[in-house]
Structure 1
Amino acid sequence: MDLNYSLADDAFRADIRAWLEANLPDELRDKVLNHKRLNRDDFANWHKLLGKRGWSAPAWPAEYGGPNWDATQRHIWDEECARVGAPTVLPFGVSMVAPVLMKYGSEAQKRHYLPRILDGTDWWCQGYSEPGAGSDLASLRTRAERVGDHYVVNGQKTWTTLGQHADMMFCLVRTDSGAKKQEGISFLLIDMKTPGITVRPIITLDEDHEVNEVFFEDVKVPVENLVGDENRGWTYAKYLLGHERTGIARVGQSKRELVFLKRLSLTRKKNGKPLLHDPLFAAKVASLEIELMALEVTVQRVVANEAGGRGPGPEASMLKIKGTEVQQGLTELMVEAVGPLAAPFDVPFLEGERAHSIAGDDDAAPLAAYYFNYRKTSIYGGSNEIQKNIIAQMILGL
């Protein structure tokens, strides 16, 4: 297994870096690098800008309009985007439902939905979690009953990220209540403008509207919006989650945030010296950096396996666990570095309505909200506890 980059890889990185430096809008770069909030237009405009270059779906093959990059090139792309401060391309359409459609969808579904995902026409959201069915997703209770040429859907989804903007939802529903819980689930594509759908905001601790509750009351979904076979949705859901968990590692983002943490701790004083020169704090930073280096090597091993034709397996769970732990550790040390200066809460500054924080410290002002928001990373995509169970079963045979 060769974990080194080739000369062609280095040339590819140089091209990517030059394009990003020339084309990433300064306003977007500033928001990402300084932990400010992105709005719908930020995501949509960046998607369209990438689309003009043919890069809005880096993992897609050429037959569906993608750049046909190999696993190493996609990894380089992710690294360079994170380094320069480019927004994340929202994964729900491009990286989550699209691979499912490519593998399991009908030809009609591929022809209709994939071009609309590629050019950003449709904004997608995920209908998985429910009250009482989060990590134990197979316990979901949202029902879909076949009535003629439609399914009639009733139930509730929760923690639906950015669902307030969505045009479409890919949704797990129960179509056979008598089967074993994993065997009675189907995968539906639901138009969010369908009568009977209600989206209610969940305002999080940082006063952000990122997640929602979604209610279904006699919602009619055409049978042709069923992906694959009825009652085989669990197979498609697991395939999707494997792709999601691999991406959650976010090594490039963590490397960028480590640079920010070091710069931040050099500007803070303890006993008249930079905080980063304090042995105890420096040891915490060094420990986290070592974990990040080990994670990066593990990601490179997975990338090398994918380049050899292997898809993500239980390694995806490893990346999810350690990647999210590193992300949370970085936010913890940032808040520790600034101390009480992280406490003032300035929503207009976070949302770009004011150029500088009223507290007078623009670096510190977003960090409490950043810290609290990143508590979610060890939960979404299947909680880290569940990932440990997967590793124990699939690798250790327990």
Structure 2
Amino acid sequence: MSTATDDAAFREEVRTWLAENLTGKWAHLKGVGGTGSGEDAYDERLAWNRHLAEHGWTCLGWPVEHGGRGLSLAQQAIFYEEYARADAPETVNHLGEKLLGPTLIEFGTDEQKARFLPKILSVEEQWCQGYSEPGAGSDLAAVSTKGVLDTGAGSGAEWVVDGQKVWTSWAQESDWIFVIARTEPGSSRHHGLSFLLMPLDQEGIEIRPIEQITGGREFNEVWFTGARTDESMILGEPGDGWKVAMALLGFERGVSVLGQQVGFERELNDLIELARSNGSLDDPVVRDRLAQHSAEFEVMRVNAIRSLTEATPGADNVAKLVWANWHRRLGELAMEVCGSGALVTNGEMYDLTRWQNLYLFSRADTLYGGSDEVQRNIISERVLGLPREARG
């Protein structure tokens, strides 16, 4: 366990390294790739992410035996805080490093760990997530994508997958996808699901970008038509998919949330500075709303830390409800601070400002990653013990 002295020294190490490295060819990447701007300078941010890996700044919480640094929760939080405060660019390896990697460490075979972990650590291979479907967005148990084990394949037994996934972030830039598929015919809900690892570069997979209201195209539809992966490319046993998927979602709401919080804080502070510079802070209504947002942010930060340090039932769901609605309202407040000029774009092209982009992208905050309605159902049914919602 790290001490306060260790943590202080580590914070200084992180600050110093970032100050020395976010210069020269990397300096222009400061602040790039934030909310709704995930496509900006993608290749350059990928190179930066690999630069981080070369210097030991990826997979900080992974056990040392798997290539990580085995840092304490406190030190991981320190890194994310300092990274955000340095205005460092958004990394591109989130799904592999923070979601699939820890899941592989917990459920993977030795062969799977040896095959995939080193290339996640070095940012050589990119991953995307095949969970949501047109008829199963926040309701993961309703997936209909099917997987069948073909034991007659010439090169050995293979899983054959047919179906469609949607809202697949960065599929167009990824090498592999982890897929929840229904592998037991006749099964329903969370039974009969399996967690499969599939290469994307094959004829049986088609990736179609979805253009968002911001003009970005980082989300995708992914179609599987007889797509194949080796029989060994399954995490856990057949039918264990729900258990593995839920474990992965637990990692999704882990320590990296603190970095997200600092990113939110930076947006809030920058908005306050904008209000001060353009005079809107003199409006008592705007000033009151900014003060309220600041107070709510401090509560949100404390709750995020609590959810990491205490086994509180429903804490993750409460956190998602809180930050999604706070951030969405921040986008609305940004439009008010910017004034009526924010209603139009500059020039003839659809060229959004940072604040217009925040407003439009944050409209989806209460939908992706589990909609507000689903979060409230989970809290009411599983935490508070209220009667289950009627399902048709």
- Residues 157/120 of structure 1: CA separation in 2 closer, same or farther (3 Å cut): same
Counterpart of 1:394, as a letter, is R
Matched residue, 2:335: 335
Structure 2 CA distance for aligned equivalents of residues 147 and 387 of structure 1: 38
TM-score between both structures, scaled by the size of structure 1: 0.88
User: Deviations for 1:328-377, whole angstroms, at most 9, x for unmatched residues?
Assistant: 22222111111233234359999xxxxxx8xxxxxx82322221112222
1:266 has 2:276 as partner: yes
Structure 2 CA distance for aligned equivalents of residues 48 and 395 of structure 1: 41
Which residue, 264, 267, 289 being the options, matches 2:294? 289
Matched residue, 1:239: 247
Local SS of the residue matching 2:98 = helix
Local SS of the residue matching 1:156 = strand
Local SS of the residue matching 2:57 = coil
Matched residue, 1:278: 283
Instruction: Point out where structure 2 has 5 or more consecutive residues left out of the alignment.
Output: 152-156, 387-392
Structure 1 CA distance for aligned equivalents of residues 132 and 45 of structure 2: 24
Matched residue, 1:63: 65
- How far did residue 223 of structure 1 move? 0.5
TM-score between both structures, scaled by the size of structure 2: 0.89
Matched residue, 2:127: 124
- Residues 348/322 of structure 1: CA separation in 2 closer, same or farther (3 Å cut): farther
Structure 2 CA distance for aligned equivalents of residues 223 and 291 of structure 1: 49
Local SS of the residue matching 1:209 = coil
Matched residue, 1:301: 306
1:114 has 2:117 as partner: yes
Which residue, 38, 51, 54 being the options, matches 2:53? 51
- How far did residue 248 of structure 1 move? 4.8
- How far did residue 64 of structure 1 move? 1.1
- Residues 53/126 of structure 1: CA separation in 2 closer, same or farther (3 Å cut): same
Sequence identity (%): 33
User: Deviations for 1:44-73, whole angstroms, at most 9, x for unmatched residues?
Assistant: 112111111111112212111111111111
Counterpart of 2:105, as a letter, is M
Counterpart of 1:389, as a letter, is N
Matched residue, 2:7: 9
- Residues 193/33 of structure 1: CA separation in 2 closer, same or farther (3 Å cut): closer
- Residues 291/174 of structure 1: CA separation in 2 closer, same or farther (3 Å cut): same
Matched residue, 1:213: 221
Matched residue, 1:271: none
User: Deviations for 1:24-57, whole angstroms, at most 9, x for unmatched residues?
Assistant: 2211104357985523313311211111111111
Deviating more after overlay: 296-305 vs 77-86 = 296-305
User: Deviations for 1:124-150, whole angstroms, at most 9, x for unmatched residues?
Assistant: 111011111101111111101111011
- Residues 331/58 of structure 1: CA separation in 2 closer, same or farther (3 Å cut): farther
Matched residue, 1:253: 263
Number of residue equivalences: 372
Local SS of the residue matching 1:224 = coil
Matched residue, 1:184: 192
Structure 1 CA distance for aligned equivalents of residues 198 and 345 of structure 2: 38
Map of 1:351-362 to 2, 5 A cutoff? none
Which residue, 379, 382, 385 being the options, matches 1:397? 385
1:27 has 2:28 as partner: yes
- Residues 180/132 of structure 1: CA separation in 2 closer, same or farther (3 Å cut): closer
Mapped contact 1:33–1:85 kept (Cα < 8 A): no
Structure 1 CA distance for aligned equivalents of residues 6 and 326 of structure 2: 30
Structure 1 CA distance for aligned equivalents of residues 36 and 246 of structure 2: 32
1:203 has 2:201 as partner: no
Counterpart of 1:314, as a letter, is G
Structure 2 CA distance for aligned equivalents of residues 34 and 131 of structure 1: 24
Matched residue, 2:83: 81
Matched residue, 2:367: 379
Mapped contact 1:140–1:174 kept (Cα < 8 A): yes
Deviating more after overlay: 150-159 vs 340-349 = 340-349
Structure 1 CA distance for aligned equivalents of residues 301 and 348 of structure 2: 36
Structure 2 CA distance for aligned equivalents of residues 31 and 152 of structure 1: 39
Mapped contact 1:123–1:168 kept (Cα < 8 A): yes
- How far did residue 303 of structure 1 move? 3.5
Instruction: Point out where structure 1 has 5 or more consecutive residues left out of the alignment.
Output: 269-273, 351-356, 358-363
Structure 1 CA distance for aligned equivalents of residues 191 and 303 of structure 2: 33
Matched residue, 1:147: 150
Structure 2 CA distance for aligned equivalents of residues 347 and 177 of structure 1: 55
1:174 has 2:182 as partner: yes
- Residues 33/315 of structure 1: CA separation in 2 closer, same or farther (3 Å cut): closer
Structure 2 CA distance for aligned equivalents of residues 244 and 28 of structure 1: 25
Mapped contact 2:210–2:221 kept (Cα < 8 A): yes
- Residues 284/240 of structure 1: CA separation in 2 closer, same or farther (3 Å cut): same
Local SS of the residue matching 1:31 = coil
- Residues 346/114 of structure 1: CA separation in 2 closer, same or farther (3 Å cut): farther
- How far did residue 289 of structure 1 move? 0.9
Matched residue, 1:72: 74
Structure 1 CA distance for aligned equivalents of residues 4 and 276 of structure 2: 35
Mapped contact 1:124–1:166 kept (Cα < 8 A): yes
